[in-house]
Chain A
Amino acid sequence: MSNKIIEAFARLRKKRLSPEHSIPLRIATLLTVLCGIIATLSQEEWPGLSILVIAGTIAGFFVSWIRREKNNWWIKLILAILMCWAFIDFMSNLLKNVYDPRIPLSYLLLWLQTLHSFDLPARRDLNYSLWTAFILMCVAGSLSSNMTYGVFLIFFILCSTFALFYNYLSAVEAKARVALNVSWRSVTGTILKTAAILLIIGGIVYLFIPRFHGLKIRPLPVSLQLRLFGMGDGQIKNPYYPYSNQLITRAFDFNSDAYYGLTSYLDLNMRGKLNRNVVIKMRSTEPAYLRGVVFDYYNGAGWQITDTKPQSISSENPPISLNLAYPGFNEVVQIFYIEREMPNIIFAAYQPSQLYFPTNTIYYDRNMGLLSPVPLDKGTIYSIISFTSNMPDYKIRKLAMKKNILPWNEASHYLQLPPISEKVRKLALDITKNYDNDYTKAMAVCLYLQNHYPYDLDVPPFPKNMETTEYFLFEQKRGYCEHFASTMAVLLRTLGIPSRLITGFTSGVYNPITGYYEIRNSDAHAWVEVFFSGVGWISFDPTPGWNSLPYAGNEEQSPWMISAIINYIKEKIPPEITESLKKGWQAFIKYLRTFAARFEILDLNGKIIALSAIFLALFSITVFIFYLLLRTKRYGLRIAEFVRKLQNLPIKLSNGFGKPQLKAAGPRFLIWQIYYKMLKDLVTIGFNKLPAQTPKEFADSAALKLGWEEIYILTGQFEEARYSCHKIDETRLNESRELWKNLNEKIKMKKKNGNK
């Protein structure tokens, strides 16, 4: 038995891989690993850990190099113990918050990479290091929410290309048992080219990678749990507007850093431009408006919330489940990453159903506005599953055919109005006179406001003696989102259609590279919710330039990344330029149609004509580029040679007619051609120049026998062209051609007479 054990150990020892001696491979692997480590460390603030991990990795690689040929059993033992400790630490951190394992996982991977770097004797171990570096880059990518990760990624690609190249070089050297002295210059050139090609291929694959709806696997991420049973009073607390509960009576200054609509009172006379600071980053299965505060009481100058005592709901562990008041048809999963301090409003698409929140208690009012017991600090993460009424227009129209029926106590909230001018009421009736359905009426009002009143942020304050809606509709005739939303809500209420005003944010701009929706202060918005029996509350957006039905109008997103990138670029281009491009394209199509009509080209689609014109333009550009390339030395010569061959093709084809084949070359070369042609033709009449004969000797013998002095003269001209440095010009060439012509005639005659 003991012999068998000894034999087994002996076999294991024999199996030990040979150590890797290549220094460039180790350096490249170290750089790749450091890139992965630094990319991960830069996503969070870990100063102490950063120094330890980076220094430890460098030290580990050095120790591995020094001890690569030794039996390091004691190092392996220590590493195994430390790895067990790291794993236990990971588990304990994970148990503290199972809903966000990314940070504990990052910790664990960093420690594993650092510890593993002390035991890298063979090439296979260095390969494992590369793979863990790659996993670290993936973890860093999942943590990253900005574009700086791209810089790390480029460095990683460069370093890993080096490492993979040297890895392969080392492997083939070991197989062939040779050591190549590869020069740094050639290696660097090859690797840079490879990295560039890799980026191009990777970029093309990325453009066409499919995007499916995700966020299917639950539970969803949420930041560390705060056990706050019973804390908070359910009131809105906005740190940028500290006296928000006194806003009705107390004037306050506009703060460009925060939206004033996220308070308990919305003053329609507040003026100012919000800045473009990012406030929230969101992952979402689809774009959706984020509800913040729901206002249901209008006092003529602003809106306020009537439900001042919201109810609380608690859950021991996430999620907090909320009852859906009305049926929802489309599940939207959203994860929010708070980028700066925000009011204690829980933003979500309407209607929220399940909430993964750091506190186990939240508040909700009659209008399903959600409030957190504590303000949302930077770094807070929460997730929500909502069900939107994402129905097509015709369906809503059909379901909303019935007359609205709301309980009297509820209806009074959403039909409340202060004293309103008759002009306003009359206008509402005028707009909706042709419609009998509440839904169509609401849509008519929405479209009327969108089409008849322009959007303008720079409007002066409304006079205090006039009701806001009347002033907006008949005096000012322009405004921004709150004015439009408030006006629509008032108009609908005058028609007896329940409505309320919502403030919050739009879905922001989707960055396809990071995968986040970036919501800025300037994305703050106001819209209207209207009640229809059988359907529930449907959102309308009467602001010009926005979709009338913000939830129902979500188009089916294209499954390809390239579409998302094009949309992102479109978002980045100023709207003036986009508008100009659009107008220009339409004008171009119109012109082509007119042009086609002039020539009676019937039934041609303007777009086809446009595409043909574009094709022609592209062709012309290609020809022009071709011409430019011809003028460059490198490509021009090759293209010129190709063109020359094409030019000579007809001459070659006419060879069968016995015409002399003369290339476009210098006179000296052409005289040689003529001489060789002469020799070839003389063979056909039995005069073969022997290899040992000089041209003169052959000329003497042939000319003497045939009596043709052309042979003699041509031979002399050949010798001069071939061996002398005399200048050979066109005159001499023409003489040779003349002689050749005469000789050719004589040869033909001789052949005809049968070589007599």
Chain B
Amino acid sequence: MPRKRDLKKILIIGSGPIIIGQAAEFDYAGTQACKAIREEGIETVLVNSNPATIMTDKGIADKVYMEPLTEDALIKILKKEKPDGMLAGFGGQTGLNLSMAMEDKGILDELGVELLGVNRNSIKKAEDREEFKKLMLEIGEPIPASTIATSMEECKEFVDKIGYPVIIRPAYTLGGTGGGFAYNDADLKKYATRGMESSAIGQILLEKSIAGWKEIEYEVIRDAKDNCIIICSMENLDPVGVHTGDSVVVAPTQTLRDKEYQMLRDASLKIIRALEIEGGCNIQFGLDPVTGDYVVIEVNPRVSRSSALASKAAGYPIAKIAAKIALGYGLDELTNYVTQSTSACFEPVIDYIVVKFPKWPFDKFRTASRKLGTQMKATGEVMAIDRTFESALLKAITSLEVKCDGLRVPYVTNLDDDKLMKKLADCDDERIFCIGEAFRRGLATVDDIFEMTKIDRWFINKIKNIVDMEFTLAKEKLNKNLLRKAEAMGFTDSEILELSGVKREVLQDMRLYHDIFPIYKMVDTCGGEFDAATPYYYSCYDTEDEGVRGSRDKILVVGSGPIRIGQGIEFDYCCVQGVWALKELGYEAIIMNNNPETVSTDFDTSDKLYFESLHMDNVMNVVRKERPEGVILQLGGQTALNLAPDLDSRSINILGTHFSNIDLAEDREKFSNLLHELDIPTPEGHAVTTREEAFEIVEKLGYPLVVRPSYVIGGRAMQVVYDDDELMRYLKEAVSLSTEHPVFIDQYIVGKEIEIDGISDGKDILIPGIMEHIERTGVHSGDSISVYPHFSISDEVADTIIDYTKRITKALSIVGLVNVQYAFDGDKVYVIEVNPRASRTVPILSKVTGVPMVKVAIAAMLGQSLKEQGYGTGLYPRSANYAVKVPVFSGAKLVDTDMVLGPEMKSTGEVLGIDPNLDKAIYKGFLAANMHIPTEGTVYVALRDYEKNDNSADIIRAYNAKGFDICASKGTAEFLNERGIPAQEMSMDEYKEALEDRIQLVINIPTLTNHSETLGFAMRRLAIERGLAVLTCMDTAEAFLKAIELKQKNTDLDYRLVWE
């Protein structure tokens, strides 16, 4: 069946901002889909509010609407564009939900738009618990005893019948939000209530728990002719009970006999056929390790995180093929993109093992419970490929950037035996390290650990092999055989050095003399059976090296690793742009990265892809193999930049800004001195080692102050303090003060925060735009709403900023990208920070201004002057649009984390609101961030003392004037009443009750954050869980008023293309 000829124009729905459970994988899938459709000569129209994505860039889709993913926006865009078809299966749950809404409203029928790939029926049957259950019963596929409930009574009735434990899952949610295990009545009440609340339709599934069974996943593709194939099978190391997004996952399955494998394969085909999916889908099974019985856990009728992983693991581009199928192609009419000669209708075979390891945000959210369960907590993941499980696991671990060189992390190593065993039993993010440590201390046998964790003994035995090798290295004299064995098992040089006690030179010489270096093998989808044309490599210590060094000049781009808070998809955007720019300039562009979710690790993005850990050892091995002309570090965020000292000391050519200047910009003291020399103001700061010293500084600088420790011990890190009490409390509670661990105290400049991104060729600088933050200084730039272009500062201030930027850039001899953050206190402009690398806002400015920043930067790094490049120098002419970046928090996922704005970043993603009118752009930004914008009802207000001022009173008065009733905490109510604002005092109990109906918005500026025992924390959580907006900065509250005003007026929004 060739493709449907009547399709001339197709609209693709993106997935919007990155949140836990819906991350970079959809940029990867969407980009592939756009490319696959466009190459058919079909016009593509993309709607996505996420500016950090590759898919929203010029050249991927024909038309891009960077607009909120709301029903209103989509209806208007559909009406305007009149596409022939719509693809919803590439935008995650957001895409599916929106497409369902369009169908429900009859829009698609009205406009004659065909829903491609998925259909209403498949979505409903796969996602609605009851329908799914019915279907499974119909086709005879086993599912756990379960019931659908919309009330507590129904829950109780079910449990009375089948007993505990039960698992609770809400219907229609992302990443398992709101689910949990209940072992007793109290658990049941807690999770059932929360689940019903977080479900879009107030519906939950109660299910007999199969915790402890093996969790197996299959990625399946089906075409309209009913051809079905399995792309990849995956086995979760963590048994059922831990969300697959939080599990260590291997591909292919390891502990299944062929019979078991085929049994689940048959079931997968049966299910995808019954659902009539045309495209990709993910099916999860539970397999009883004792009886071999299985149950179907869940089906995702679309591409997902798992399909991105499966695509990278097997080398088979699922999204691309799924898009082609949506156009009508049969699998047997398509070619295998990797071999370019064989058919796409085959099942990839793997001749290596893949380990996926989640990346959790607990280093940022130190108070969050690290315990893993049915609710996903990871923000990203890494993948490693190798010939054995041990080496793939160790590679994955060193990819996590948790400061470890092997299966040991200091925290676990330092636990006493009891605490260690307790932590092991607790199932948290460090369990694998605990297992290793338990073996190391001889506290448990393989069987003991199996009993405690239910992790299959196969995995436990392999972990034990790693520990056994540690002992061997410590005990035996290092010789060539042992060294080769240890390296082949995935041990890093640092780990071997530490365990064996030999000197680095000795190790180096042994490697050289005996030629113990990794070789590179190709990922080819067919286990070597056919010739492959795709340059996708992984390292291993085996015999035949398949890596062939090309003859062209080559440049290595180091990627940004897993998605985490503070380092998101925007850096992958920069790396991909960088690779493309290098290709255009005629270089062989080589990338190394370890993130399976991203576009940078797609097999056809670069000229050569090394899917590798970004540990120094692995980077050096690739450098040794390829001997590139230069290495680019400034695109891969802090991950890549952190490699600069080591690469520089080995005399490896780092392109762009010289290492000594990177170091200068990153060293607080040196940089401060430089600014003094340049006569550029910067907040004064000092390091203190005693309380006395701290208070001396207070004398000198005065409050407020920014305080942060040089060494984080848990508890709080950076904070703004306003008086002696707060400072004292900080010094006492949050940090241990000593000469080894000083605390930095900086002057806190209260005022506007302004940020620029620029490109320099060493002589001139091009500044695409200036961005002004809505929130005052003290809020991390990643968490503040920022507006391009600047809208409130005077030309004089802007000129000063440009002048300072030019001088700093010159002094640091910046070549390539630079980001500078400023504060303006109404009088003076201060430099807060200079980042000599790509920043979070590069994709935004590139898209809004049309200056391809990374491309220009790459050309500059390779010697082309800015003047030659034709984008001019100095400040680029402003665009006709305002662009408002609004951060998005995954607050609903991390129940014990306080999403209060402050100096530490907490958001996981961002959206952009674009409009020629600033207020409308702001409104669009809030809409795109999916914030609940009320038009009536009650606003609850609680302000810290410092905020009880005129400005706050004016803002609350404005809310009142817009028709909102004001309720407040005791102190705040008194303050507001004094200012003539009618505010009703409200107790916690009243608040809880009022949340159910009256309260529509919470404005809460807390004194203490992240203290789960405080009342404020509980209040904020309750509101977040009810889907209300909780504003924790008065500036946000002020901006939010604009959105409310426009919504109250029923303002009609225009949705436009980013580029006409």
Say whether A and B bind each other.
no
